[in-house]
Structure 1
Amino acid sequence: MYCNCIYVMFFTGFPRERLAIIPASMDYILGLEDGKKPYLKAVTELSKAFALCSSLDEAIAIRDEVGFFQAIKVAIVKHTITERKDAVYLDFAIKQIVSKAVVSDQIINIFEIAGIDKPDISILSDKFLEEIRGLPYKNLALEILKKLINDEIKTKSRKNITQSRSFLDMLDATVTKYQNRAIEKSKIIDELINIANSFREAMKRGENLGLTEDEIAFYDALDTNDSAVQILGYETLKIIARDLVQAVKSNISIDWNVKESARAKIKVIVKRLLRKYSYPSEKQEKATETVLKQAEYLCVDWAV
């Protein structure tokens, strides 16, 4: 897999030179067609085999390389795979698994190694996004940006399922276009940055509309982009959202979503409110279910 990727400096260079090999090697693997999964699997199998014979001379002879492969695996998992419980931590420790020759027990920051100084990733700032755009390791830049946007959407929008779903769909569609070779690598990085900027602006919508975080979540649940719904007018939709928060909040219990009778009561309340404001009848069922699902996410805080 590494036949065209020179990593000898990892074993012979100075500490900073050794660290610089990590993002370059990650970029190489991520640039291979379907390279990530086979690499992770191969390193896992190699590690298992090495553990069984680590005391043999033949194994000792390759322990530094095994450690290097492990280091790259840890880096790829940490910085490009989204479905992990510890995904919020953007620094990773490369542990000493085979030899002191491997970079061990150090906290390594991929962004620092790549030349990005103290990135403000929590809000995907303009400065950070531009520095990501300028990274020489385009495959790595793409994977890191995709992961960070995905994590940011899930973290910030966990209380707004409509907005979260919309942006995750947008992210998936963009990545799919790239995978189908419909857009080039430089173009997808631009599109991902546009998604990040759009999401950042979307996070301000509640404040701009004069709605709280809970109210904007129900506002979005009303399918406000639908033309039939928009006839009601934004002011009326804002009133519905506020009334929904008040009505649902005052009628839920800790286990309302698992008790059929309690859930049915909330459903009746929601439908009654929608009818009160002449919400389109053909849209009411979908809106009601979305509001109920949204309430499930919010009720954890409300019922405390």
Structure 2
Amino acid sequence: MRAQASFIGFTGTPIDEKDRSTAEIFGEYIDVYDMTQAIEDGVTVKVFYEPRLARVELPTEAREAIDDEFDDATVGSEEEISERLKTKWARVEAIVGSEKRIGELASDIVAHWEARRDVLAGKAMIVTMSRRIAVDLYDAIVALRPDWHSDDDAEGVLKVVITGNATDPASYQPHIRNTQERRAMKARASDAADPLELVIVRDMWLTGFDSPPMHTMYVDKPMRSAGLMQAITRVNRTFKDKPSGLIVDYIGIAENLKDALATYTDRDKQDRAIGEDVRSAAIPELMVEHAVVSDLLHEVDWVSILGSGGTKAFVYAVTEVVDYLLGTEDDRDGDDLLWQELPGEFDHARSDEPSVKKRFMAHCGRLKRLFALVPSSPEASAIRDDVAFFDAVRQSIAKIEAADRTADGESELDTAVRQILSQHVAGSGVIDIFAEAGLEKPDISVIDDEFKRKFEESDQKNLQLEAVRRLIANEVKIIGKRNVVAGRKFSEMLSEALNRYQNRTIDAAQVIAEIVELAKAIQEQRRRGEETGLTDDELAFYDAMLTNESARAAMEDATLRAIAHELTEIVRNDAKTDWQLKDQVRARLRTRIKRLLLKHGYPPDQEPAATELIIKQAEVIAEHD
């Protein structure tokens, strides 16, 4: 039986060495799912490469001593290094881990990480060639950033994760943990909300450790072949809007990375799914996108507004640009604005010729993602304030557009990528785009006659119109989820006003006046329940029955309220059953509604239509309870 067995292997890191080969043992590949395909499928993200050897010197004698044999010696634990290589390893380890170099390394990692985490929330791993270097590097970093340290394993920004025992030096002991403690530390490193950001390791966690928020790996340990590939894929996991991973090289792994990719597919090597130099890949595109976004705003002199000084200059400039972009949704001049659900960065495109606003949102999003790849580069630093300004505009428009999205359909806006904050932002505080539009709080209670008066004097009519429309539209959606009749009524009122504005039958001031009246009607709807003594659900059934004119004329109001109360009880009693999906339950409910209406003398000629409307109202209530 065994002689006829087939041997099938699954591997993510194929090996092709002189003395060992995956293909030699198992034969030709049956199927290959390469890294390029995984990136296209959204299973992993691309991993870029950034060399930093020029910033942290590695002496020539150490670089020459790091050969393939030496790389292999660093794969296992320090105790597993062969006697023949121990002298060589100790010599190189002493050079790599010299006090001067450790100080340089600590300083560069801190500067690089602080620049990177400002634009990309997440975590990073630092890989060292020995436990001694890991501990010394920790001490050097903590000397620069004392607040990153904590004696408590549940606290602190920086931790060392190494193995050891009681015979190890005293300096190692605070970093040596038992299995349960290491498991708790691993949970912290995988939790995006946990303050732990940086972990220093020697060999632990380079395989079998999964932390999707981790996007950066600082490598100061010789690695090659499958071990190198396994290690750097710690940062290729997808996580929310994480754009890519980054390998920062302090020891010279570029050639080893190239050799390791030789066993992968031609597509992976051609597309550089792992290891493309982030500088050559991102910086030219970053500068192009910056130029494109700047050109899109050439109609607005935002540079002069920013240069006027004062803590509010940044806010004024953002508001001016937002107002301009909102006014570009069609070709009309002046204050006109196309009142359609046009896509921004977070919508699916529905137009062959996107507006300036849509182009700005798309290019600005790409600009920010590219900036996040190289935040510490001189080129990125030179345009940092511009990127901060553009992103503040994008965030403001996104906030307005999100106002009329439902919670389950709304995209998560920048959950991983943080808003880039420049000194301008810090000086003016957080921008409240609704407040700048004259809405101190995003609530329809502020849309009143006083708001209408202020609108006529406003210089940002596009911004105010868009903010108000989305605010009202969102309120209408909320009402429609509980009350079919009221939702339809207010939706028709809003659509009619906006259509007449779009067709230029009325001007901006007139459409605002109608929206103010609609806001008053919505607030009156809220008060009706209190005045009639009905709950929201009872009021919804009450409104459904009032659509019948003969019922309004023939039946007393108290009777209609009693029917509404009983209908609510019927639906509530069936709440535990998903009656929308079960024909028998629906039929039983329909029969009970008919009997209830007939019992209270509801006009029989209108009963079928009333029953259908009540059924629809019951479905809406059941769906949102």
User: What is the TM-score of this pair, normalised by structure 1?
Assistant: 0.80
Residue among 297, 307, 316 paired with 1:2 = 297
The answer to whether the 8 Å contact 2:448/2:519 transfers is: no
Aligned partner letter, 2:321: S
Query: Unpaired runs of 5+ in structure 1?
Result: none
Q: Does structure 2 conserve the Cα–Cα contact (< 8 Å) formed by 1:162 and 1:217?
A: yes
2:322, 2:396 within 8 Å by CA — same for their partners in 1? yes
Q: Which has the higher helix share?
A: 1
Residue 296 of structure 1 deviates from its aligned partner by 3.3
Secondary structure of the 1:265 match is helix
Equivalent residue number for residue 198 of structure 1: 521
Distance 2:328 2:576 in 1: 52
Q: Is the 8 A contact 2:375 2:381 kept in 1?
A: yes
Residues 149-298 of structure 1 mapped to structure 2, 5 A cutoff? 149-156=472-479, 158-222=481-545, 224-235=546-557, 236-281=559-604, 283-298=606-621
Aligned with 1:19 (options 315, 321, 333): 315
In the comparison of the two structures, how many residue pairs are matched?
Answer: 296
Any gaps of 5 or more consecutive residues in structure 2?
Answer: 1-295, 331-354
Distance, in Å, in 1 between the alignment partners of 2:385 and 2:607 is: 63
1:47 is the counterpart of 2:343: no
| Equivalent position SS for 1:108 | coil
Post-superposition offset of 1:27: 1.0
Q: 1:192: Cα distance to partner?
A: 0.9
Deviations 1:262-296 (A, max 9, x none): 22211111122223344444543343233223223
Q: Deviation of residue 184 (structure 1)? A: 1.0
Q: Structure 1: which amino acid aligns with 2:445?
A: I
Which residue does 1:29 correspond to in 2? 325
Alpha-carbon distance, 1:48 to partner: 4.2
Work out whether residues 248 and 270 of structure 1, in 8 Å CA contact, stay in contact via their aligned partners in 2. Answer: no
**Alignment partner of 1:75 is 2:396:** yes
Q: Is the contact made by 1:96 and 1:103 (CA closer than 8 Å) also made in structure 2?
A: no
**Distance in 1, Cα, partners of 2:408 & 2:313:** 28
CA shift in 2, pair 1:255/1:96, >3 Å: closer
Partner-residue secondary structure (3-state), 2:299 = coil
**Counterpart amino acid of 2:387?**
V
Aligned sequence identity (%): 32
Query: Residues 250, 113 of structure 1: CA spacing in aligned structure 2 closer, same or farther, 3 A cutoff?
Result: closer
CA distance, structure 1, for counterparts of residue 408 and residue 565 of structure 2: 35
Worse-superposed segment, 152-161 or 177-186: 152-161
1:100-154 Cα shifts (integer Å, max 9, x gaps): 34626953223444566x5482634647744763543111110111121122233
Aligned mates of 2:540, 2:616 — CA distance in 1: 11
**Root-mean-square deviation over aligned CA pairs:** 3.5
SS at match of 2:459: coil
Match of 2:461 among 106, 120, 138: 138
Cα distance, 1:226 vs. partner?
3.9
Counterparts of 1:153 and 1:114 in 2: how far apart (Å)?
20
TM-score, L = length of structure 2: 0.42
Largest Rg, 1 or 2 = 2
Task: Specify whether residues 76 and 214 from structure 1 end up closer, same or farther in structure 2 by C-alpha distance, changes over 3 A only.
Answer: same
